[in-house]
Each structure stands twice: as structure tokens, then as C-alpha cells.
Amino acid sequence: MIHDLLSQSSRYENLHPSFPAAFAWLKNFDPSTPDGKYEITGPDCVAGVQRYTTKPSAEKKWEAHQIFGDIQVVYFGDETCGHTDVTHLKSSEAYSASKDVEKFVTPTFPTTQLHLRSGYFTVFYPQDAHQPGVTRDQSTEVLKVVIKFKL
């Protein structure tokens, strides 16, 4: 997992061939872009624009991916996103290859709680189970882009 300022993304662009184009897209993102999927460099690097209301932790599932990593950027609002190593979790929904996602039982041990907010990005790899969209102090509207990059 990587969590840093979007303005510092050049430090990480050499970590994956899709990162230069993905970070350029994120830095030039227009918040009036409608929700939906947008190919950046083809089907192996796709941006998903989404607007939603955060929910309490008990209503949000933990997840991880195997084929694609995530770059998550919040442009409006803020949320908490849980993070832990996937090997510590018990599966609640088997891995779906068509959706590239496995869901997990909420852990009973302490996890890292990230504050996702404007100006920052977070990269999740397959070992990074995460619980996005969690309310911080109160429910809030969020505008987020999640870039899926093929590993």
C-alpha cells in the first residue's frame, strides 16, 4: 500500500508501466466528469468515477483483488478506509474472477485506518485488503476516482 500526496506521485511513477498515464489522468481530472468507466490506456488501465455517501463501518465490506491494483483518489468529501494484509482475513464471499474481487469478514483485531481526502492518493495491491467508503465523523458525499491497473 502507498499513501501520499497526489502532488508527489512522480516519486512512484516508475513502479508500474500504467502509473505515468494514470497519475496524469488523475492530476487533470475534471470533477464535473459523470460517473462511469473511462479507459486511460486501454482495458488494462481504467478509471471509475463514482459519487456516493459514506456509511458506517458495519455496513461496508472488506475486499481485495488479484488481477488489478487500485489507485484511489477522493476529490470531494472524505472517508475512512480500513487496511490490513489479506492473509489475516477470513473470506466471506469467494473470489470472483469476473469481478476480480473477494470479500472478507470484518477483522476483530486492530487495522490501519486511512483518512482518504482531497489531495492524496492510495495504491492498493493484491495483498492489501481494504474497506473503502466508511464514514469518519458523519456521513458525507464523496467524489472518488478508482483507477484499476492490471498487474
Side-chain half-sphere CA neighbours of 45 within 13 A: 15
Separation of alpha carbons 1 and 128, rounded Å: 6
We report the CATH number of the domain holding residue 62 as 2.60.120.370
* β-strand partners of 5: 120
Please say if the pLDDT value at position 49 is more than 90. Answer: yes
Mean pLDDT of the chain: 96
pTM higher than the cut 0.85: yes
Give tens-digit pLDDT for 113-139. Answer: 999 999 999 999 999 999 999 999 899
Integer angstrom CA distances of residue 95 from 16, 65, 66, 102: 24, 8, 9, 4
Look up the domain containing 14 and give its range.
2-150
How confident is the model over 28-32, as a mean pLDDT? 98
Cell of 103: 470479500
The values of phi and psi at residue 125, to 5°, are -105, 175
Chain Cα centroid distance, residue 59: 17
Work out how many domains the chain is built from and give that number.
1
